[in-house]
Amino acid sequence: MLADAGRSPLKERAEGLRPLLEKYFEVVAWVDDLASELPDDKVDFAVVLGGDGSILRTAHLMGYRQLPVIGVNLGRLGFLADLLPEQLDEALSRVVAGDYRVVKHLMFECRVELPGEKPLEYLGLNEVAVLAGPPFAMLDVQLYVDGELVTTYSCDGLIVSTPVGSTAHSLSAGGPILRKDLQAFVISPISPHTLTNRPVVDSADRIYELAVPEPHEGTTLVIDGKACRQLTSADRIRIERSRAEFQLVEVRGYGYYRTLREKLGWGGRLKLDD
Protein backbone atom coordinates (compact mmCIF):
# COMPACT_ATOMS: atom_id res chain seq x y z
CA MET A 1 0.00 0.00 0.00
CA LEU A 2 1.31 3.42 -0.91
CA ALA A 3 0.28 6.87 0.30
CA ASP A 4 1.89 10.30 0.50
CA ALA A 5 2.50 10.83 4.20
CA GLY A 6 3.76 14.35 3.54
CA ARG A 7 0.16 15.54 3.38
CA SER A 8 -1.42 15.15 6.82
CA PRO A 9 -5.13 15.05 5.80
CA LEU A 10 -4.36 12.46 3.13
CA LYS A 11 -2.34 10.38 5.60
CA GLU A 12 -5.23 10.31 8.07
CA ARG A 13 -7.74 9.24 5.40
CA ALA A 14 -5.36 6.58 4.12
CA GLU A 15 -4.85 5.17 7.61
CA GLY A 16 -8.63 5.03 8.00
CA LEU A 17 -8.86 2.70 5.00
CA ARG A 18 -6.21 0.32 6.26
CA PRO A 19 -8.61 -2.11 8.04
CA LEU A 20 -10.68 -2.44 4.85
CA LEU A 21 -7.59 -3.16 2.76
CA GLU A 22 -6.40 -5.76 5.26
CA LYS A 23 -9.82 -7.41 5.06
CA TYR A 24 -9.11 -8.43 1.47
CA PHE A 25 -5.32 -8.39 1.07
CA GLU A 26 -2.26 -9.51 2.94
CA VAL A 27 -0.42 -6.20 3.23
CA VAL A 28 3.30 -6.90 2.87
CA ALA A 29 4.35 -3.25 3.12
CA TRP A 30 2.91 0.17 3.89
CA VAL A 31 4.93 2.82 1.98
CA ASP A 32 4.28 6.38 3.09
CA ASP A 33 7.31 7.99 1.46
CA LEU A 34 6.96 8.04 -2.34
CA ALA A 35 10.62 9.03 -2.68
CA SER A 36 11.80 5.79 -1.07
CA GLU A 37 12.36 2.36 -2.63
CA LEU A 38 9.75 -0.37 -2.90
CA PRO A 39 10.26 -3.54 -0.86
CA ASP A 40 11.63 -6.62 -2.64
CA ASP A 41 8.84 -8.88 -1.34
CA LYS A 42 6.66 -10.73 -3.85
CA VAL A 43 3.79 -8.32 -4.50
CA ASP A 44 0.65 -8.88 -6.60
CA PHE A 45 -0.81 -5.35 -6.48
CA ALA A 46 0.14 -1.83 -5.47
CA VAL A 47 -2.79 0.00 -3.89
CA VAL A 48 -2.21 3.76 -4.16
CA LEU A 49 -4.19 5.99 -1.81
CA GLY A 50 -4.22 9.58 -3.01
CA GLY A 51 -4.72 11.44 -6.26
CA ASP A 52 -3.28 11.22 -9.75
CA GLY A 53 -0.11 12.92 -8.51
CA SER A 54 0.44 10.06 -6.06
CA ILE A 55 0.00 7.54 -8.87
CA LEU A 56 2.49 9.43 -11.06
CA ARG A 57 5.06 9.38 -8.25
CA THR A 58 4.36 5.68 -7.71
CA ALA A 59 4.91 4.93 -11.41
CA HIS A 60 8.26 6.76 -11.23
CA LEU A 61 9.13 4.90 -8.03
CA MET A 62 8.44 1.51 -9.64
CA GLY A 63 10.61 2.34 -12.65
CA TYR A 64 11.04 -0.70 -14.88
CA ARG A 65 9.40 -3.00 -12.30
CA GLN A 66 5.81 -1.88 -12.78
CA LEU A 67 3.13 -3.59 -10.67
CA PRO A 68 -0.64 -3.60 -11.29
CA VAL A 69 -2.01 -0.50 -9.55
CA ILE A 70 -5.36 -0.08 -7.80
CA GLY A 71 -5.94 3.66 -7.50
CA VAL A 72 -8.11 5.00 -4.68
CA ASN A 73 -9.01 8.66 -5.07
CA LEU A 74 -8.37 10.77 -1.99
CA GLY A 75 -7.70 13.84 -4.16
CA ARG A 76 -9.96 15.77 -6.52
CA LEU A 77 -10.69 14.74 -10.12
CA GLY A 78 -8.77 11.46 -10.16
CA PHE A 79 -8.58 10.06 -13.70
CA LEU A 80 -6.10 7.36 -12.68
CA ALA A 81 -7.11 7.07 -9.03
CA ASP A 82 -10.72 6.58 -10.06
CA LEU A 83 -12.12 4.48 -7.17
CA LEU A 84 -13.74 6.47 -4.38
CA PRO A 85 -13.34 5.26 -0.77
CA GLU A 86 -17.04 4.37 -0.58
CA GLN A 87 -16.65 2.15 -3.67
CA LEU A 88 -13.60 0.34 -2.33
CA ASP A 89 -15.34 -2.48 -0.42
CA GLU A 90 -17.29 -3.65 -3.47
CA ALA A 91 -14.35 -3.12 -5.85
CA LEU A 92 -11.90 -5.11 -3.73
CA SER A 93 -14.35 -7.99 -3.37
CA ARG A 94 -14.47 -8.15 -7.17
CA VAL A 95 -10.69 -8.07 -7.43
CA VAL A 96 -10.36 -10.96 -4.96
CA ALA A 97 -12.99 -12.87 -6.99
CA GLY A 98 -10.95 -12.29 -10.16
CA ASP A 99 -13.55 -9.96 -11.71
CA TYR A 100 -11.08 -7.40 -13.01
CA ARG A 101 -8.56 -6.84 -15.79
CA VAL A 102 -5.13 -5.23 -15.93
CA VAL A 103 -4.86 -2.55 -18.63
CA LYS A 104 -1.33 -1.74 -19.77
CA HIS A 105 -0.57 1.86 -20.64
CA LEU A 106 2.16 3.49 -22.67
CA MET A 107 5.15 4.97 -20.86
CA PHE A 108 7.95 6.93 -22.52
CA GLU A 109 11.66 7.49 -22.24
CA CYS A 110 12.97 11.00 -22.70
CA ARG A 111 16.65 11.45 -23.51
CA VAL A 112 18.31 14.87 -23.63
CA GLU A 113 21.42 14.93 -25.78
CA LEU A 114 23.98 17.38 -24.39
CA PRO A 115 27.09 18.38 -26.39
CA GLY A 116 30.18 16.94 -24.74
CA GLU A 117 28.23 15.58 -21.75
CA LYS A 118 26.50 12.39 -20.72
CA PRO A 119 22.86 12.39 -21.91
CA LEU A 120 20.11 12.88 -19.35
CA GLU A 121 17.50 10.10 -19.29
CA TYR A 122 14.01 10.13 -17.79
CA LEU A 123 11.14 7.64 -17.57
CA GLY A 124 7.65 9.15 -17.64
CA LEU A 125 3.95 8.41 -17.83
CA ASN A 126 2.10 11.65 -18.66
CA GLU A 127 3.98 14.07 -20.86
CA VAL A 128 7.10 15.91 -21.92
CA ALA A 129 6.62 19.67 -22.10
CA VAL A 130 8.88 22.46 -23.30
CA LEU A 131 7.70 25.69 -21.66
CA ALA A 132 8.80 29.14 -22.82
CA GLY A 133 9.49 30.61 -19.37
CA PRO A 134 10.79 34.14 -18.70
CA PRO A 135 10.69 36.58 -20.39
CA PHE A 136 7.45 34.89 -21.57
CA ALA A 137 7.76 35.81 -25.23
CA MET A 138 6.81 33.56 -28.15
CA LEU A 139 9.06 30.51 -28.48
CA ASP A 140 10.07 28.55 -31.59
CA VAL A 141 10.09 24.77 -31.06
CA GLN A 142 11.11 22.40 -33.83
CA LEU A 143 9.43 19.00 -34.06
CA TYR A 144 11.06 16.05 -35.83
CA VAL A 145 9.40 12.64 -36.34
CA ASP A 146 11.73 9.78 -37.28
CA GLY A 147 14.38 12.34 -38.16
CA GLU A 148 12.15 14.35 -40.50
CA LEU A 149 11.35 17.98 -39.71
CA VAL A 150 7.58 18.28 -39.29
CA THR A 151 7.25 21.96 -38.45
CA THR A 152 8.47 24.78 -36.26
CA TYR A 153 5.84 25.82 -33.74
CA SER A 154 5.70 29.46 -32.64
CA CYS A 155 3.99 29.07 -29.29
CA ASP A 156 4.15 29.40 -25.52
CA GLY A 157 5.27 25.78 -25.28
CA LEU A 158 4.85 22.31 -26.73
CA ILE A 159 3.53 19.12 -25.10
CA VAL A 160 4.18 15.54 -26.22
CA SER A 161 1.71 13.41 -24.30
CA THR A 162 0.80 9.77 -23.83
CA PRO A 163 -2.88 8.74 -23.79
CA VAL A 164 -2.76 8.72 -19.98
CA GLY A 165 -1.46 12.29 -20.07
CA SER A 166 -4.08 13.39 -22.60
CA THR A 167 -6.46 14.27 -19.74
CA ALA A 168 -3.78 16.33 -17.98
CA HIS A 169 -1.76 19.32 -19.28
CA SER A 170 -2.47 18.42 -22.92
CA LEU A 171 -6.24 18.61 -22.38
CA SER A 172 -5.87 22.05 -20.77
CA ALA A 173 -3.94 23.16 -23.87
CA GLY A 174 -6.79 22.09 -26.15
CA GLY A 175 -5.53 18.61 -27.00
CA PRO A 176 -7.81 15.61 -27.66
CA ILE A 177 -8.71 12.89 -25.18
CA LEU A 178 -7.12 9.57 -26.14
CA ARG A 179 -8.35 6.30 -24.73
CA LYS A 180 -5.73 5.31 -22.17
CA ASP A 181 -4.75 1.99 -23.73
CA LEU A 182 -4.04 3.41 -27.21
CA GLN A 183 -0.47 3.19 -28.46
CA ALA A 184 0.00 6.76 -29.61
CA PHE A 185 1.42 10.16 -28.71
CA VAL A 186 -0.35 13.49 -29.07
CA ILE A 187 1.59 16.69 -29.83
CA SER A 188 -0.18 19.79 -28.52
CA PRO A 189 1.14 23.35 -28.97
CA ILE A 190 0.33 25.81 -26.18
CA SER A 191 -1.23 29.01 -27.55
CA PRO A 192 0.22 28.62 -31.08
CA HIS A 193 0.69 31.81 -33.07
CA THR A 194 -0.65 30.12 -36.23
CA LEU A 195 -4.22 28.89 -35.81
CA THR A 196 -3.65 26.08 -38.31
CA ASN A 197 -1.17 24.50 -35.86
CA ARG A 198 -3.53 22.00 -34.25
CA PRO A 199 -2.82 18.96 -32.04
CA VAL A 200 -1.47 15.93 -33.92
CA VAL A 201 -1.84 12.25 -32.96
CA ASP A 202 0.73 9.76 -34.25
CA SER A 203 1.98 6.24 -33.54
CA ALA A 204 3.94 5.37 -30.40
CA ASP A 205 6.31 3.40 -32.62
CA ARG A 206 7.88 6.59 -33.97
CA ILE A 207 10.71 8.64 -32.48
CA TYR A 208 9.94 12.26 -31.62
CA GLU A 209 12.61 14.92 -31.24
CA LEU A 210 12.35 18.53 -30.08
CA ALA A 211 14.83 21.35 -30.49
CA VAL A 212 14.69 25.00 -29.45
CA PRO A 213 17.07 27.08 -31.63
CA GLU A 214 16.68 30.26 -29.54
CA PRO A 215 15.48 29.44 -26.03
CA HIS A 216 14.64 32.11 -23.50
CA GLU A 217 16.53 32.45 -20.26
CA GLY A 218 13.83 30.45 -18.48
CA THR A 219 12.89 27.91 -21.18
CA THR A 220 12.45 24.65 -19.30
CA LEU A 221 11.99 20.96 -19.95
CA VAL A 222 9.17 19.65 -17.74
CA ILE A 223 8.39 15.92 -17.41
CA ASP A 224 5.23 14.78 -15.63
CA GLY A 225 4.93 18.20 -14.00
CA LYS A 226 8.51 18.28 -12.72
CA ALA A 227 11.03 20.82 -14.02
CA CYS A 228 14.07 18.83 -15.19
CA ARG A 229 16.36 21.22 -17.03
CA GLN A 230 16.67 24.73 -18.43
CA LEU A 231 17.26 24.24 -22.13
CA THR A 232 20.03 25.56 -24.35
CA SER A 233 20.07 25.89 -28.11
CA ALA A 234 22.34 22.82 -28.38
CA ASP A 235 20.01 20.48 -26.45
CA ARG A 236 18.14 17.82 -28.41
CA ILE A 237 15.15 16.12 -26.73
CA ARG A 238 14.33 12.58 -27.87
CA ILE A 239 11.05 10.89 -26.88
CA GLU A 240 10.14 7.27 -27.59
CA ARG A 241 8.14 4.35 -26.26
CA SER A 242 9.56 2.69 -23.15
CA ARG A 243 9.71 -1.04 -22.53
CA ALA A 244 8.11 -0.26 -19.17
CA GLU A 245 4.30 -0.21 -19.17
CA PHE A 246 2.10 1.32 -16.50
CA GLN A 247 -0.48 -1.25 -15.35
CA LEU A 248 -3.84 -0.13 -14.02
CA VAL A 249 -6.40 -2.50 -12.49
CA GLU A 250 -9.85 -1.91 -13.98
CA VAL A 251 -12.82 -3.34 -12.10
CA ARG A 252 -16.00 -4.20 -13.99
CA GLY A 253 -18.47 -1.33 -13.69
CA TYR A 254 -15.73 1.23 -13.01
CA GLY A 255 -14.36 1.57 -16.53
CA TYR A 256 -12.83 4.32 -18.63
CA TYR A 257 -15.96 6.00 -19.99
CA ARG A 258 -17.66 6.00 -16.61
CA THR A 259 -14.62 7.84 -15.26
CA LEU A 260 -14.73 10.42 -18.06
CA ARG A 261 -18.48 10.86 -17.74
CA GLU A 262 -18.33 11.45 -14.00
CA LYS A 263 -15.07 13.40 -13.74
CA LEU A 264 -15.64 15.71 -16.74
CA GLY A 265 -19.33 16.19 -16.06
CA TRP A 266 -20.45 14.99 -19.48
CA GLY A 267 -24.17 15.62 -19.61
CA GLY A 268 -24.05 17.56 -16.35
CA ARG A 269 -21.80 19.61 -14.15
CA LEU A 270 -18.15 18.93 -13.33
CA LYS A 271 -17.81 16.64 -10.32
CA LEU A 272 -15.16 17.53 -7.75
CA ASP A 273 -14.69 14.98 -5.01
CA ASP A 274 -14.32 16.26 -1.46
Q: Do 83 and 161 fall into the same domain?
A: no
Instruction: Tell me, yes or no, whether 268 lies in a domain.
Output: no
Q: Do 35 and 65 fall into the same domain?
A: yes
Instruction: Tell me, yes or no, whether 271 lies in a domain.
Output: no
Q: Do 123 and 67 fall into the same domain?
A: no
pTM > 0.85: yes
Percent of the chain's residues with pLDDT above 70: 94
Residue 81: give the domain boundaries: 2-99+252-263
- Report the domain count for the chain: 2
Q: Which of 150, 124, 106 lies closest to 221 in space, CA to CA?
A: 124
Residue 39 has pLDDT above 90, yes or no: no
Q: Do 61 and 136 fall into the same domain?
A: no
Phi and psi torsions of 170, nearest 5°: -60, -40
The number of beta carbons lying within 10 Å of the beta carbon of residue 17 is 18
What is the sign, positive or negative, of the torsion defined by CA atoms of 74, 253, 58, 229? negative
Q: Which CATH number do you get for residue 179?
A: 2.60.200.30
Percent of the chain's residues with pLDDT above 90: 67
Q: Which CATH number do you get for residue 30?
A: 3.40.50.10330
Active site residues: 52
User: 135-193, pLDDT tens digit by residue?
Assistant: 999 999 999 999 999 999 999 999 999 999 999 999 999 999 999 889 999 999 999 98
Residues 43-67: what's their mean pLDDT?
A: 91
Instruction: Tell me, yes or no, whether 228 lies in a domain.
Output: yes
